[in-house]
Amino acid sequence: MKKFKVGLLGMGNVGTGAYKTLEMNRELIASRVGADIDITKILELDVKRKRDVNVSPDQFTQNPDDILTDPEIDIVIELLGGIEPATGFMLKAMENGKHVVTANKAAIAADFDKLVGTAEKRRVMFRFEGSVGGGIPILNALTKPLLANEYTEVLGILNGTTNYILTQMAENGSPYAQALSDAQAKGFAEADPTADVEGHDVANKLSILISLVFGARVHPNDIPTEGITKISMADIEAAAKAGSKIKLIAAAKRENGALEYSVKPTLIPFSHPLAGVSNEFNAIFVKGNAVGELMFYGRGAGPLPTGSAVIGDVIEIVRALRGDGR
């Protein structure tokens, strides 16, 4: 059976989730794509960390070129996070003819044109389903089966940490600080939660959505962004009395030719499908001029849901390489 070799940059939580997804479904995936997919090399400093996967010490390297320039590697998965060195590594992999998969929203949002442009120039595939909505296959939907539509609006709950906090405040009456430390204890929030609670993580994701939905480049720094740190229990209670929930909503729409976008806490009526999206779940709502309203709902983060998206991208690449993308 034909073998495809994959190099993995970064084996933190998400990298381990991607590895685990491939490991637990190896035979099923091989039967579906008609090829073996192996993660043969891993760039990672922390070799000793306990991970719940079968990985041998000689798969690890601390030299990125062992992956980026290895002629045997077909596909590079980048899961380092942050803009550099991640973008530089992805560009180098593309320059060396490798297809690239990432879930790194910060790098894509900052360097979209460079990454997409280099992939086109080098005629390699560049996929990043896991960067928005975790395991929800929203980018695939927007860029493939919905292409018969003119999009008019996209909005959603794109961050599990803040949605968990807002849900706990509304449903259990936990004040902000307590809900945040609860989220940290459950692993839904990082020790430094700034990027999540201030809305920067969501702005990165909205920037990516705007690129795909409206074909316009808006740098995340140029998106008016307000987080949830100023939401009080009084705000939550007032919303409930008015028949609404407060959700951190990323939204973009085109109206009379002008593109409007923002990230901010927003009142969502109980009757709207987004009101039922609780805790760490995410949902993306899109409007097209033929299909009308669609909503995609699922786990917006976590090692295995993001692993599903990352390995799904690898599978799509392998199927296209085998001429089986139909």
Catalytically active residues are 205
Q: Is 160 in the site for a second copy (CB under 8 A)?
A: no
Binder to a second copy among 56, 135, 201, 250 (CB under 8 A)?
135
Instruction: State the distance between the two ends of the chain, measured CA to CA, in whole angstroms.
Output: 20
Q: Which stretch binds a second copy (CB under 8 A): 8-16, 133-141, 203-211, 241-249?
A: 133-141
Site for a second copy in 206-265 (CB under 8 A): none
**List of residues 6+ apart from 324 with CB closer than 8 A:** 33, 34
Nearer to a second copy (CB atom), residue 101 or residue 236: 101
Binder to a second copy among 8, 14, 33, 109 (CB under 8 A)?
33
CA angle 197, 202, 205 (to 5 degrees): 160
201 sits in which H/E element: helix 200-214
The nearest distance, CB 95 to a second copy, in angstroms, is 18
Amino acid at position 222, single letter: D
The nearest distance, CB 222 to a second copy, in angstroms, is 25
Nearer to a second copy (CB atom), residue 53 or residue 141: 141
| Count of positions on this chain that bind a second copy (CB under 8 A) | 55
Binder to a second copy among 129, 210, 214, 265 (CB under 8 A)?
129
Binder to a second copy among 35, 53, 83, 141 (CB under 8 A)?
141
Euclidean distance between CA atoms 176 and 165, whole angstroms: 7
Q: Buried b vs exposed e over 60-88: b needs ≥16 C-beta within 10 Å?
A: bbeebeebbebeebbbbbbbbbeeeebbe
Per-residue tokens: 102? 């990432």
Q: Which stretch binds a second copy (CB under 8 A): 20-28, 86-94, 206-214, 226-234?
A: 20-28
Nearer to a second copy (CB atom), residue 3 or residue 144: 144
Q: Which stretch binds a second copy (CB under 8 A): 53-61, 70-78, 80-88, 143-151?
A: 143-151
The nearest distance, CB 127 to a second copy, in angstroms, is 9
Q: Identify whether the C-beta of residue 94 lies closer than 8 Å to the C-beta of residue 102.
A: no
Site for a second copy in 286-325 (CB under 8 A): 288-299, 302, 304-305, 307-309, 311-317, 320, 325
Per-residue tokens: 162? 């803040």
Euclidean distance between CA atoms 65 and 87, whole angstroms: 14
The nearest distance, CB 324 to a second copy, in angstroms, is 10
Q: How far is CA 85 from CA 79, 190, 208, 313, in A?
A: 11, 21, 20, 22
Q: Which stretch binds a second copy (CB under 8 A): 82-90, 147-155, 232-240, 243-251?
A: 147-155
For 37, which DSSP code?
E
Q: 182 — alpha (psi -120 to 50), left (phi > 0) or beta?
A: alpha
Backbone torsions φ then ψ of 75, nearest 5 degrees:
-135, 135
Binding site for a second copy (CB under 8 A): 17, 21-22, 24-25, 28-29, 32-33, 125, 129, 135-137, 140-141, 144-150, 273, 275-277, 288-299, 302, 304-305, 307-309, 311-317, 320, 325-326
